[in-house]
Chains A and B, each alone.
Chain A
Amino acid sequence: MRYALRKFGLLLLTLWAAVTLNFLLPRLMPGSPADAAIARLAQNGPVTPAVQRAIETQLGVPGGSIWDQYVSYLHNVVTLDFGVSYTFFPQQVSELVAGALPWTLIMVGLVTIIAFVIGTLIGIGAAWKRGTWMDSLPTMTGSFLSAFPYFWTALLIVFFLGYVAGWFPTSGAYSAGTVPSFSPEFIGDALYHAALPAITILLTSLGGWILGMRNTMINTLGEDYVTFAEANGLRGRTVAIRYAARNAILPNLTGFGMALGGVVGGSLLVEQVFAYPGVGYLLYNAVTNQDFPLMQALFLMITVSVLVANFLVEILYGVLDPRTRR
């Protein structure tokens, strides 16, 4: 219990530091929201002085001193009221986030869990049968695939599976013209659209889990207690899972916690290539448009989820490995 309390105190402290940084960082970026909005319009040609003035009066500069802004920001954080987005004026930030979050949570979240489970299992198998083809095949394919940058894999997949073969839609989260609902048709449609981005993330992240699990487990397999268990005549499966894997999984679990926390940040490049309406794309829009309210809300969401995920993993650690409780 003292262990959990100590960790919780640490969580609060880190949270405050993250929230404060989150307030400062966007304000250190050069240029105001109005500059960013004008720059965006300038991509389509000259922006007349009248338009510049209208945008300045509309977006302006955040009012009040830095300290006043900080206090009202803290108040907003506590009440979860982030105001109006600059990029998507006059939309509420909360609506935008609520619109993007489910897509990311379901697509990226599920894929992360699937990749972790499959990758770890393959890793266990590879380490147990080390030296055979069951080891070399997944490790080599894994490291090969994870060496590709996300967006490059994504482009190859769009081109071959989406364009040349025409099996899957190349962009969007659901068919054009349909309105999101919970009907079976719509869910099927959404899954169909999620296929390519999901495959991309799965392919590129699987290798890391396989290699991580395999390498730690090979170390563990050399430990005396494993030899002892084998000498006692325990079944191979019991030794692999209960003795070796349980101890070897700890680093992978930390990685999983981080990955899970990072899910809410979306998967920027993949979401961009597939025009997937998730948090990553939203964050990209917010950053390129100097959209302080939206950026703050998203950064806050990401930091909080990473911190909470880490906290949970540490608690779980305590359960899995009694030594850390001391």
Chain B
Amino acid sequence: MKRWTLAAAAVTAAVLVTTACAAPVQTSGGGNAADGTTSMLIAADNGSPTFERNFNPYSPTKRNTASYIYEPLVIVNEMSGEETPWLAESYEQPDASTIVFHLRDGVTWSDGEDFTAEDVVYTFDLLMKNPQLDLKGIGEHIASTEVDSSDDSAVIVHLSSEDVPAAVIIAQTMIVPEHIWSGVADPVTYANEDPIGTGPYTLGDFSPNQYTLVKNESYWQADKVAADELIQPAANSELDIVNKGYDWAYAFMSDVEDTWVAANPDHNTYWYPAGATIALIPNMTKAPYNNLDFRQGIAAALDKQAIADKAEQGYVDQASQSGLMLPSQEKILNPDLPNQGIIEQDNDAALEHFAAAGYTMSGDQLVDANGQQLTIKITTPNGWSDWLQGVQQVKNQLAAVGVNVEVVQPQPAAYQKEMRSGDFDMVMGTVGGTGQPYQDFGAMMGAQFYEEVGTTAAGNFGRFQSPEADALLDELKVTVDEQRQDEIAQELQQIAYDQLPVISLFYGGSWGLFSTKSFTGWPSADDPYASPKTWDQTPLLILTSLKPAS
């Protein structure tokens, strides 16, 4: 997803001018040096405007690349839900409230110490004792952890209840070394300036304007790591990215073909796959938003592809009402949903639904029994120009069926507050995105996140209530049988499709720019093994899949 500050927008404009002038392209980026070392120029992390030296992997303000230094037990590709064993070679769930992780042998920390099961147990304890650091929320699932007394490379996690989906959440925890962290006075404010991890890279030179990561030669799969050095500058404006020959950048770019690709047509490629669903979230505690006919009317009146094209310049597709990210989650899609769950625009059907909800056409206005025009209010954050473009399109399309739309644009912080406390009529928001049905549908409509209006909620912002959905979620939580898990996921999709707890519009994009000049093997639509994003754990998949270009 992209957000434009004034300056960024203007710089983008400047980039567009650039192509018109066909200025010479400098390539001062990464590449193969004479001595055979390979370096990669990345835009994985932005200084604001310079870097603070914070490599604490659990800090929300950490350097993004901290997750190239620390590794999790299992890496999850959130687009497909696919799991890749990492520091754990495998894990099993002997029953719904126990997980056993079998750790990989021969892994060492970058200071030479061995990686052990005690490190894993220590990390879990650390996060449970310091909820401020618990970004994955493992504390609410774990009762206790221990090293298996019969196998010192296995960790047993006892969950606080029958909780099958917890395994994948806990498995994504980045593990830190006990021999270093046990000496840290306050892990919450610890900036971890000299990080020691198990990952493919260690911190090289750090300055506020640029830092480097150098290959960890003792890495447990060092033979798979192609780049000897990663260079991360603090300033990565669109102008810089296009001109300086980056190998990997995460950036939305207007007219990417004529800017990024045109800068080096032989090597520059891009992949903008679908991410989480951007949706209109109706407030179920208010009329008429709690009326299913009304919601169906809105859903039928919208041409989601036109909205997507307007908002994201044609780089993303309309979203399925199933709540899934398509095509990456296709294999668990409910086959009974017509048209892959995409609700096509049909104004006649919309008017029928509105009539059932008590609104009739009078002249060119849709009016209620008292002759008042139907007016709805949509909240979207100020400054997120792509979303605003989308909402404007929604407004135009609803005007065509006689509905008046007021767009409210609070500042982002106020927007979050209003959304979380339920102080809205209809709000533009992101749903799903983890690739895990229990987490995605739970946060969309589960009672576990339900809060009264006025109380801050962490999910289910629309305050949707469905005993049927809750029963399914409860069952999914304790089901070990994978086939049954898929069935439940399909039933949840059916509820999302029938009840419209959110009205799906389009998929938020992930904006990957790659160059094949020095490295090949980037993820792509043909080989979607990882999201192009540069933070969290999936970059490890990319960094261990690249090959030097011949």
Contact = CB atoms under 8 A, between A and B. Distances in A.
Interface stretch (A45-53, A121-129, A243-251, A306-314): A45-53
Interface string A154-183: 010011000110100011111111111000
Nearest to B277: A46
Given A159-B14, A170-B240, A290-B413, A41 B188 contact: no
Contact of A88 (B3, B23, B61, B439): B61
Interface residues of B, number: 78
Contact of B205 (A151, A177, A269): A177
Given A58-B188, A277-B49, A44 B1 contact: yes
Interface string B226-248: 00000001110101100100000
Contacts of A115: none
Contacts of A89: 59-61, 189
**Best-surrounded residue of B2, B48, B431 (most CB of chain A within 10 A):** B48
Nearest to B421: A35
Contacts of B38: none
16 contacts: A30-B417, A31-B415, A35-B414, A37-B60, A39-B381, A40-B412, A46-B431, A46-B433, A48-B439, A54-B60, A56-B456, A57-B132, A58-B188, A88-B61, A155-B14, A176-B235
B185 interface: no
Interface in B52-69: 52, 54, 59-61
A179 B535 contact: no
A198 B131 CA distance: 46
Interface in B187-201: 188-191
B414 A281 contact: no
B222 interface: no
Given A39-B381, A56-B456, A164-B21, 15 more contacts: A30-B413, A31-B415, A36-B416, A43-B3, A45-B275, A45-B433, A48-B443, A49-B137, A57-B132, A58-B60, A88-B61, A163-B243, A176-B235, A273-B11, A276-B49
Nearest to A41: B60
Contacts of B93: none
Nearest to B276: A46
A162 B234 CA distance: 18
Contacts of B235: 171-172, 176, 275
A50 B135 contact: yes
A264 B126 CA distance: 42
A175 B209 CA distance: 7
Nearest to A87: B61
Given A42-B430, A50-B136, A163-B18, A57 B131 contact: yes
Contacts of A155: 10-11, 13-14
A176 B210 contact: yes
A261 to B, nearest CB: 24
B162 interface: no
A179 B208 CA distance: 7
Contacts of B449: 49
B134 interface: yes
A179 B134 CA distance: 34
Question: Chain A contact residues (Cβ within 8 angstroms of B): what range?
Answer: 35 or more
Given A158-B14, A178-B209, A35 B6 contact: no
A272 to B, nearest CB: 4
B59 A90 contact: yes
B411 interface: yes
Interface string A25-39: 000011110011111
Nearest to A58: B132
A40 B60 CA distance: 10
Contact of B443 (A36, A49, A276): A49
A31 B136 contact: no
A146 interface: no
Interface string B132-169: 11111110100000000000000000000000000001
Nearest to A285: B48
Given A35-B420, A163-B18, A172-B49, A273 B411 contact: no
Interface in B103-148: 131-138, 140
A38 B26 CA distance: 37
Contacts of B3: 43
The 4 closest A-B pairs by CB, nearest first: A50-B137, A31-B413, A49-B458, A39-B412
